[in-house]
A and B are shown apart, each in its own frame.
Chain A
Amino acid sequence: MQLVANLKSAEQQPAETAIEVANLTHVYAGPEGGVPALEDISLSVGVGRFVVIVGPSGCGKTSLLMMLAGLRHQTSGTVLCYGRPIPDPDPTRVGVVFQEASLFPWLSALDNIEFPLSLRGTPKEERQRRAGAMLTLVGLDGFGARYPHELSGGMKQRVSIARGLVQDPPVLLMDEPFAALDEQTRMTMGHELLRIWNATRKTVVFVTHSLTEAVYLADEVLVMSARPGRIIDRIAVTLPRPRNYEMMATDVFGRLRDRIWQQIRKTA
């Protein structure tokens, strides 16, 4: 009885924060003092949450994601990942999945997944074991020896996800990972991503143009304005999990998508 009560209180506690961004502003160097790209961004992502950032093209959402990954540096403000700044990429804390297939064409799928491990000199056996497990996780058992050009667009992005997860980082950042895929594959991959997320319980920050994708995937949607990018709305997606395709036809889904659209339209 005591145990159950403890568990309950633990559940009700506010979740630990994985990512904390405070007053982040970014200005691109340029003539006349530069171009403001991001303006006073503050956000916080709880551990294990799935947060989606949407916004019009050029609003700086990819830049913001690159700053969360330590791949780019903001002009001012702070980015904390598990309480520590991230001045350089750290694949043990943050994995990144990119928009286009950024897989190396000269490596097989398995070698691509092993790549981050081989950079840090992980022994061959452990590399193979972990990469193999990732391949299974993303549903590509038996495709390890294939080269990227022998894989479909969806399969390539599965490999990218496996590569982002292979060092078991608590945070996964995804920059429009399914943008280049056709509509059907994109829906399937969204669903697959939720399955993988559910199996690994990572904290995910996902950038997209697609409002349907945003609502389908997210716990919370952050809507950004046109340049300079600001966060103009935070929408909690209350749809139950696990999500399924039928939910897309519901009123709740439609209302959420419509609200995001209205917000984006106002600023564009």
Chain B
Amino acid sequence: MRRPAPSTVRWLMLIAVLALWEIVPQFEIIPELFLPSLSKTLTVLYQNRGTYFAALLVTLYEVGFAMLISCVGGILAGALIGGVALLRSLFLPIFSSLYAVPIVILYPIMTAWFGVGSESKIMFSGIYAFFPVMLTAAAGIRTIDPAFLLAARSMGATRQQMITRVIIPASVPTVFTALRLGGALTIIGVVVSEMLTSAAGIGYLVTLNRTILDSPRVFAAILMILVLAVAYYMIARSIERRFVVWQSAGRKQQAASRDAAAGVPAPQPA
């Protein structure tokens, strides 16, 4: 018997989870207050689509601006710190140790400085995701294969050509990794800050409906955040695949040769 493909298994698992979400509350194994069924959640989401869509726009707006700080700022800062030895020795130890600080303690300060509107969410989640992005980018720049630099030098590349023709293209995979990570963390930061103190956004809907014990509305908001996060990841991944052809294709090739070596039969037409 042939083993099903991992992607088939993944889809089956997802369908199983969704089915359980529907069935378990239907049979009142878990009370609706704790877990409303999937159909109930979707119905509430549809009935209140105006409210939820408006909240989604607020959240997306905050995520968008926060990503300018976390991703754009983080990648630029990471490139500088990874690429310039002096900056690295000055700042890297500081930033690495700051990494362990729970940045969420800054959020009350942000609301004091910027109010309870979108600005405090943008600042908080931007800073929250900035450090991991920066450290990832810095590490990526530092791990560029020195063989590339030596080869470019042997071909007479100037310092500027080394940067534009070798270091930047060699950093593209790292930049995409940092973007994927940064986007996900920014979404987390925005939602968490909306849940703590705010008057708008999906996170706000979670907290608001939780306090009035309206579980279907809470779960509708949770479902939206889930979809938002997964959609971001999938879009980022597909753009990455397109841009970093050599990397994903290299991985595919490795996987193919591994399969061949392990004697996995090629898929046959039914």
Contacts and interface: CB of A to CB of B under 8 A. Distances in A.
Nearest to B166: A104
23 contacts: A69-B154, A71-B153, A89-B155, A90-B156, A91-B154, A95-B154, A96-B154, A102-B147, A102-B150, A102-B151, A104-B148, A104-B151, A105-B246, A105-B247, A105-B250, A115-B155, A119-B157, A119-B158, A119-B161, A147-B245, A148-B246, A149-B253, A163-B155
Interface string B136-151: 0000000001011011
B169 interface: yes
B154 A71 contact: yes
Contact of B156 (A102, A104, A116): A116
Q: How large is the interface on B (under 10, 10 to 19, 20 to 34, 35 or more residues)?
A: 20 to 34
Interface string A187-223: 0000000000000000000000000000000000000
Contacts of A119: 155-158, 161, 165
Nearest to A70: B154
What are the 4 closest A-B residue pairs judged by CB atoms, nearest first? A102-B151, A116-B155, A96-B154, A149-B250
A120 interface: yes
Interface in B152-203: 153-158, 161, 165-166, 169-170, 172
B156 A106 contact: no
Interface of A: 69, 71, 88-91, 95-96, 98, 100, 102, 104-106, 115-116, 119-120, 147-150, 163
Given A71-B153, A89-B154, A150 B169 contact: no
B148 A102 contact: yes
A120 B152 CA distance: 12
B127 to A, nearest CB: 32
Contacts of B250: 105, 149
Nearest to B252: A149
Contact of B246 (A91, A100, A147): A147
A127 B250 CA distance: 27
Contacts of B98: none
Interface in B231-269: 245-247, 249-250, 253
Nearest to A163: B155
With a 10 A CB-CB cut-off, give which of A88, A102, A148 has the most chain B CB atoms: A102
Contacts of A100: 147
